[in-house]
């Protein structure tokens, strides 16, 4: 089952945190960032996809070295739609932040300095999307299928935040 399918299941499952409002807030944040930077929404979605790939690598490393609970804790603590530099710092050393900004700039044509300033917005948005699968009663409880799918627990290689955002936009009719 793909990442977006897991997100839709989380929205439909009252035992998980995901809801249409959360998905709408994520899309609104991406749209606001696009508008405020004068960037085409598809370019911003591409940037978000690249950030998502870096977040996945960082969470996979955290999961491998500290366990599933540590990855879930980062998602729970920093997932949101408000800027949060701590979210970026919790996942990426300064040199990786710079590398991420340069990669996004190379692939999207955005200015690397602007991308660096957007990371405290984009990283929490990715984490918020992953948070949708957390248990609604006990977010620390394991078994977040959205996070597991994102970390590609089934090893099929089919994980992409950009696709999930585009599908979410269609799902909500935006």
**pLDDT tens digits for range 7-31:** 777 777 777 777 778 878 888 888 9
pLDDT value at 172 more than 80: no
Q: How far apart are CA 147 and CA 32, in angstroms?
A: 25
- Pick the more confident residue, 112 or 17: 112
pLDDT of residue 11: 76
The predicted model scores a pTM of 0.82
In this structure, is the dihedral angle defined by the CA atoms of residues 16, 20, 23 and 28, taken in order, positive or negative?
Answer: negative
Choose the most confident range, by mean pLDDT, from 17-21, 67-71, 81-85, 135-139. Answer: 81-85
Supply the DSSP symbol for 160: -
- Pick the more confident residue, 97 or 15: 97
pLDDT tens-digit readout, 45-65 = 899 989 999 999 999 999 889
50's enclosing H/E stretch is helix 41-66
């Amino acid at each position: 089952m793909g990442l977006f399918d897991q997100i839709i299941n989380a929205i439909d499952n009252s035992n998980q945190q995901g809801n249409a409002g959360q998905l709408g807030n994520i899309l609104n944040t991406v749209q606001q960032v696009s508008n405020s930077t004068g960037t085409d929404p598809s370019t911003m979605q591409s940037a978000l996809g690249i950030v998502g790939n870096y977040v996945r690598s960082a969470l996979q490393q955290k999961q491998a070295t500290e366990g599933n609970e540590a990855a879930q804790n980062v998602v729970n603590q920093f997932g949101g739609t408000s800027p949060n530099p701590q979210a970026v710092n919790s996942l990426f050393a300064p040199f990786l932040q710079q590398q991420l900004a340069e990669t996004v700039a190379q692939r999207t044509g955005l200015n690397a300095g602007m991308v660096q300033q957007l990371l405290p917005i984009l990283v929490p948005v990715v984490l918020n999307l992953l948070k949708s699968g957390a248990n609604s009663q006990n977010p620390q409880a394991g078994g977040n299928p959205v996070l597991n799918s994102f970390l590609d627990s089934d090893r099929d290689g089919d994980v992409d935040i950009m696709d999930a955002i585009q599908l979410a936009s269609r799902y909500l009719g935006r």
